[in-house]
Amino acid sequence: MTRSMKYLAHVLFVLIVLAGTAWSATALWLHLTGGLRVGALGALIAMALTALILRFKRGRRLGWATLALGGLAVAGWYQTITPEQTRDWAMDVSKGVRAEVEGDHVRLANIRDFEWQSKTEATPRWITEDYDLNDLETVDMITSVWDNPDIAHLLVSFGFASGENVVFSVEIRREADEEFNELGGFFRQFELVLIAATERDIVKLRTNYRKEQVRLYPVHLNAEQRRTMFLSYVELAQRLEEKPAFYNTITANCTTSVWALALALKPDLPMDERLILSGRLPDYLTDLGVIDAAPAEERDENALITPLAQNDTGEASFSDVIRRK
């Protein structure tokens, strides 16, 4: 092996050790506590140092073998972290929606209809509703921005002939004492939950109490496409009820999950960076031709519903208020 190749091999080995140690240390820190955390981190660092020493003092094979052994140990432990259904969940995500389908009729249980007094306090109320898919008339995409305009939470609202809307929201299922952090979303720290809610709960929470910039975009789908999209959410609810899953900041979040559901409408739907930078999702949907193709600034200004919601007097239904009816 030439000197340059040996140098590159050394560099590659060091980079793999550093990257693997950083990833493993983060996972251990997030999932372990107390003395167990300290002991595991100590063992990890000892294993990394041993691999480096053996690689440079005793030979390539011993170094790689030690590195592989450490990697297998961490991978084996990581696979023991599995999603759960029964934990002490935070109040607003304590119940995922449950769905039953019989022909054209769908029954949704555990629809959230909280009466919020502040962004953290509410009077809980969970309801059950029956829906006739023949009465499904509208689909609206709702985006909610709280800080970075490139990042938004995505909700999808389905409107029926009765005037009622049900909103689906793929969310992090936090435990009662947990707060979300993006880093934990990469390391199986949070489960995934599908929330179904009324607009006067889930939208008003964001517009009136969290003071977020919320926009509503009508999505142009035909009757069959609306039905397919609704049933995709129903199937997701049934899958999560049968087998829980983890939230992932990149691969299983509110936007990428909806993209996966939308593949039922269009199997060749292209992947796009705007599915990650979810605040740009309206541009993506405009390019696909499913929301109005107005100039972006005008489109987004017309879609903003936060002022409408905050001026709600209660004389009309909340769903009518945010649609200027």
DSSP track, 125-138: -EEEEEEEGGGEEE
Tokens of 208: 């009136």
Specify the pTM: 0.86
| Cβ-based neighbours of 9, under 8 Å, separated by 6 or more | 1, 60
| φ, ψ (nearest 5 deg) of residue 248 | -135, 130
Q: Read off the amino acid at residue 217.
A: Y
Residue 149 is classified by DSSP as T
Residue 157 bridge partners (DSSP): 140, 167
| Cβ-based neighbours of 191, under 8 Å, separated by 6 or more | 83, 84, 87, 172, 173, 244, 245, 246, 247
- What is the longest distance spanned by two Cα atoms in the chain? 81
Distance CA 146, CA 140 (A): 20
> Is-contact 111 198, C-beta < 8 A?
yes
Q: Write out the chain's pLDDT in tens, 325 residues.
A: 576 777 787 788 889 989 999 999 999 998 998 999 999 999 999 998 988 888 887 667 888 888 889 899 999 999 999 998 889 999 999 999 999 999 999 999 999 999 999 999 999 999 999 999 999 999 999 999 988 888 888 899 999 998 899 999 999 898 888 887 777 878 888 899 999 999 999 999 999 999 999 999 999 989 998 999 899 999 999 999 999 998 887 776 666 666 665 666 667 767 777 767 777 778 888 887 888 877 888 888 999 999 999 998 877 899 999 998 6
